[in-house]
């Protein structure tokens, strides 16, 4: 069994350290108050048993909490007092150098929490270490100076999660929809260099990747671009190629027919599209931004976004090439084709591509094959979005999320026109619904009272985020605020006007709806008798967002938090506060947002139908998924799921596996095995457990992760059941 030290490093569990610590406290009290060696041994054995029941590596603090409780359970209150006093004294000493210890452990690569914090960051490389080191300093300043103490305490206790506190000291926002159309058509500036309107599709693709990298380095969340904004440059290239072909034809005295010229031009256009798409794919995969990872970018593929039929057909060619190249994958260091994490792809299911015989059905078939092999694209239903995303004019709109799931709310500008590109999210604070339920003891009146208190806590925390951005000068991130990604503000102008009136959103996240309902009702929220309570919890949070929006003229929006490392943090905090509650706190994770629990047996169609009603109540962001086996030989079933998505739910994905062992060439599923109380990724063919020589891709929580996960998320991945 392993333990996690305070600086994040992992050590072997040693029972003698518990015995020594209790013995030292025992020696400081009068003899008549002391415990016997047998009692001390029993306490140590009980702590070991409690640690083993956790199913994960306990932290030093958790072990010490267990020791305290066991000493008091033996009636040795004077010994307990001595033990607690010693802990408090040592805490005061450590507070002066906690940040130093964490930074040093990052540099030496022995901080297990940092290694597994982000499934798309490699903690060994210098750029990631630099970002983490800066993050520790920022987090320290945030906790000591910038945030109220009760919000910091609530975050540390797991009542809420104040996301990305390692970036809070800087005036940075979360995620956005990049206005690529404005930047390409009207030009932009990158690091002081004027970038004019591109004269070819391939140049437009190259500029797009530079914009993506710049945006990623000036924010901390995801971004999205639309292929529609690149489509007009296909015609620019086509016209250029036609001129070139005519000139070549004349130079050699040839007399090609118009049909032959058209064919030559289109061949060159296809080649240009192939090269341009390859530029985007390989640039995104190989770029390393200032935060130590590839840009977290989503590419949106929506045919009906095109302005006319010619642009739509050109867009279809781009989408086809994107899907073909993604189906192929990228080569790892061994030259084997594998699944990359980014860019994330979203394909819109619409009337022109959802049925056999529709004009673009061939793209949908290609998307299905790509999903079966590479886990992307994910799918948005134009039908459901137009039905549910209604603006103040009563019109529905279909648009992409920002990154993995964060959605803007419908917005109409001063000219009465809908606007999505150029908008952004100010930040997220997540509410732990499970803690509210457990704190209530199952009393419904008390539940709603505590709910109100926690919502107000989140409200104040979100306003801290808003106030931190307020007054930010456009000069802080010119690519965002001055040169078109989000706005075209003047130098020295603040971004304040973009923070109000619904232009940007700010998100109230939530986690653990399943466990919350399970504790309060004794049933899963899929049970018809428990679903109304689950929906009432969702409505309650939406009502709070509406009140705050009216009070501040800021677009508060309910957001289904993805929970990567936070699922583990919340689970540990709940176990520390409430112990092991069967079916509620007995795992190393809690459930993402409104999702059906990963262990619950439910078929794919019923899962999507059930979760659709919760997506509508998460206007600030949500995604649903179905877990499927290898579907490469059953594309018809994938297409049936896609058709169901079109008719029933806004946004969904299919999860499969895509692995490769570099030692033996195994390309089946890399398994998760328990070893010395720890979950370890293991090749079933050769037994390889070296993560550096395995390529593992899993859907984490809306996006693909390839750098492994903490023990809580790993357990969640292991526990997933198939829905198809």
Residue numbers annotated as active site: 174-175, 402, 404, 406, 425, 559, 564, 702
Can you read off the two tokens belonging to residue 68?
A: 């305290």
Q: What is the Cα–Cα distance from 58 to 5, expressed in whole angstroms?
A: 9
Q: CA 28 → CA 32, 76, 92, 489, distances in Å?
A: 11, 13, 20, 67
Q: Do residues 682 and 670 lie in contact, with contact meaning Cβ atoms separated by under 8 Å?
A: yes
Q: CA 536 → CA 448, 517, 530, 533, 543, distances in Å?
A: 11, 11, 10, 5, 10
Q: Do residues 301 and 349 lie in contact, with contact meaning Cβ atoms separated by under 8 Å?
A: no
| Radius of gyration for the chain, computed over Cα atoms and rounded to the nearest angstrom | 27
Contacts for 318 with CB less than 8 Å, ≥ 6 apart:
227, 230, 231, 234, 273, 276, 277
Total count of residues recorded for the chain: 724
Using CB atoms within 10 A of its CB, is residue 28 exposed (0-12), middle (13-18) or buried (19+)?
Answer: middle
E strand or H helix at 131: helix 126-141
What is the β-pairing status of strands 160-162 and 10-12?
A: unpaired
Q: What is the Cα–Cα distance from 472 to 170, expressed in whole angstroms?
A: 10
- DSSP type of residue 718: H
What is the β-pairing status of strands 678-682 and 671-675?
A: antiparallel
Alpha helices in 558-710 (DSSP H): 566-578, 604-615, 635-648
Q: What is the Cα–Cα distance from 423 to 429, expressed in whole angstroms?
A: 19
Phi and psi based region of residue 187 (left: phi greater than 0; alpha: psi -120 to 50; beta: remaining): left
- Closest CA relative to residue 334, chosen from 657, 663, 689, 658: 663
Contacts for 119 with CB less than 8 Å, ≥ 6 apart:
564, 698, 700, 705, 706, 707, 708, 709, 713
Q: What is the Cα–Cα distance from 503 to 409, expressed in whole angstroms?
A: 9
Q: Is the bond preceding residue 577 a cis peptide, omega within 30 degrees?
A: no
Can you read off the two tokens belonging to residue 429?
A: 């604070």
Q: What is the Cα–Cα distance from 434 to 424, expressed in whole angstroms?
A: 29
Q: Do residues 495 and 472 lie in contact, with contact meaning Cβ atoms separated by under 8 Å?
A: yes
Q: Do residues 220 and 295 lie in contact, with contact meaning Cβ atoms separated by under 8 Å?
A: no
Dihedral of the alpha carbons of 592, 672, 629, 724, in degrees to the nearest 10: -50
Residue 558 φ then ψ, to 5°: -80, 135
Q: Is 699 helix (H, G, I), strand (E, B) or coil?
A: strand
Using CB atoms within 10 A of its CB, is residue 159 exposed (0-12), middle (13-18) or buried (19+)?
Answer: buried
- Closest CA relative to residue 452, chosen from 534, 529, 525, 547: 547
Dihedral of the alpha carbons of 458, 462, 468, 469, in degrees to the nearest 10: 170
- DSSP type of residue 291: T
- DSSP type of residue 328: H
CB crowding 424-452: b at 16 or more within 10 Å, else e:
bbbbbbbbbbbbbbbbbeeeeeebeebbe
């Amino acid at each position: 069994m392993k333990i996690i030290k305070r600086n994040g490093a992992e050590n072997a569990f040693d029972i003698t350290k518990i015995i020594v610590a209790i013995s030292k406290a025992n020696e400081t009290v009068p003899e008549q108050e002391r415990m016997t060696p047998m009692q001390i041994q029993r306490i140590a054995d009980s702590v070991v048993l409690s640690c083993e029941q956790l199913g994960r590596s306990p932290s030093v603090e958790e072990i010490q909490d267990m020791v305290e409780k066991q000493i008091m359970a033996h009636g040795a209150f004077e010994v307990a007092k001595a033990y607690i006093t010693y802990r408090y004294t040592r805490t005061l000493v450590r507070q002066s150098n906690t940040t130093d210890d964490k930074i040093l452990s990052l540099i030496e690569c022995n901080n297990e929490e940092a290694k597994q914090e982000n499934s798309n960051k490699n903690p060994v490389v210098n750029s990631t270490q630099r970002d983490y080191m800066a993050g520790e300093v920022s987090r320290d300043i945030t906790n000591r100076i910038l945030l109220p103490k009760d919000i910091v305490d609530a975050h540390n206790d797991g009542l809420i999660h104040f996301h990305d506190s390692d970036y809070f000291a800087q005036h940075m926002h979360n995620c956005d929809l990049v206005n690529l159309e404005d930047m390409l058509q009207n030009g932009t500036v990158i690091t002081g260099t004027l970038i004019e309107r591109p004269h070819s599709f391939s140049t437009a693709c190259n500029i797009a990747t530079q914009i993506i990298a710049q945006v990623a380095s000036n924010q901390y969340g995801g971004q999205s671009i639309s292929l529609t904004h690149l489509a007009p440059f296909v015609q620019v290239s086509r016209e250029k190629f036609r001129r070139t072909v005519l000139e070549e034809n004349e130079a050699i005295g040839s007399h090609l027919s118009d049909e032959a010229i058209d064919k030559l031009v289109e061949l060159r256009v296809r080649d240009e599209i192939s090269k341009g798409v390859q530029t985007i794919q390989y640039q995104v995969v190989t770029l390393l931004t200032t935060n130590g990872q590839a840009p977290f970018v989503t590419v949106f593929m929506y045919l009906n976004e095109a302005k006319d039929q010619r642009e739509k057909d050109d867009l279809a060619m781009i989408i086809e090439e994107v899907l073909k190249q993604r189906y192929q994958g990228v080569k790892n260091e061994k030259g084997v084709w594998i699944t990359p994490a980014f860019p994330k792809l979203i394909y819109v299911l619409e009337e022109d591509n959802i049925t056999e015989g529709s004009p673009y059905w061939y793209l949908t078939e290609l998307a299905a094959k790509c999903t079966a092999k590479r886990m992307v694209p994910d799918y948005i239903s134009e039908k459901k979005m137009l039905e549910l995303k209604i603006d103040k004019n009563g019109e529905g709109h279909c648009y992409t999320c920002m990154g993995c799931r964060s959605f803007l709310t419908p917005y109409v500008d001063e000219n009465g026109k809908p606007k999505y590109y150029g908008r952004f999210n100010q930040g997220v604070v997540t509410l732990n619904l499970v803690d509210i339920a457990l704190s209530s003891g199952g009393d419904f009146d008390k539940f709603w009272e505590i709910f109100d208190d926690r919502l107000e806590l989140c409200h104040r925390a979100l306003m801290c985020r808003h106030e931190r951005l307020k007054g930010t000068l456009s000069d802080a991130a010119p690519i965002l605020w001055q040169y078109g990604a989000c706005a075209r503000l003047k130098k020295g102008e603040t971004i304040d006007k973009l923070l109000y009136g619904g232009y940007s959103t700010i998100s109230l996240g939530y986690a653990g709806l399943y466990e919350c309902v399970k504790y309060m009702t004794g049933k899963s929220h899929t049970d018809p008798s428990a679903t109304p309570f689950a929906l009432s919890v969702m409505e309650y949070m939406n009502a709070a967002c509406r009140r705050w929006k009216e009070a501040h003229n800021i677009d508060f929006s309910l957001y289904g938090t993805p929970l990567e490392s936070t699922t583990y943090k919340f689970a540990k905090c709940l176990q520390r506060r409430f112990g092991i509650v069967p079916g509620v706190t007995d795992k190393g994770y809690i459930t993402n947002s409104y999702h059906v629990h990963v262990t619950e047996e439910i078929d794919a169609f019923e899962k999507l139908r059930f979760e659709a009603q919760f997506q509508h109540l998460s206007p600030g962001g949500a995604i649903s998924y179905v877990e499927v086996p290898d579907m490469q030989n059953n594309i018809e079933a994938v297409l049936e799921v896609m058709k169901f998505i079109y008719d029933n739910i806004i946004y969904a994905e299919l999860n499969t596996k895509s692995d490769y062992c570099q030692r033996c060439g195994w390309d089946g599923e890399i398994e998760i095995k328990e070893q010395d109380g720890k979950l370890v990724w293991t090749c079933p063919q050769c037994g390889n457990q070296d993560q550096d020589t395995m390529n593992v891709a899993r859907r984490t929580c809306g996006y693909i992760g390839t750098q492994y996960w903490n023990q809580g998320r790993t357990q969640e991945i292991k526990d997933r059941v198939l829905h198809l």
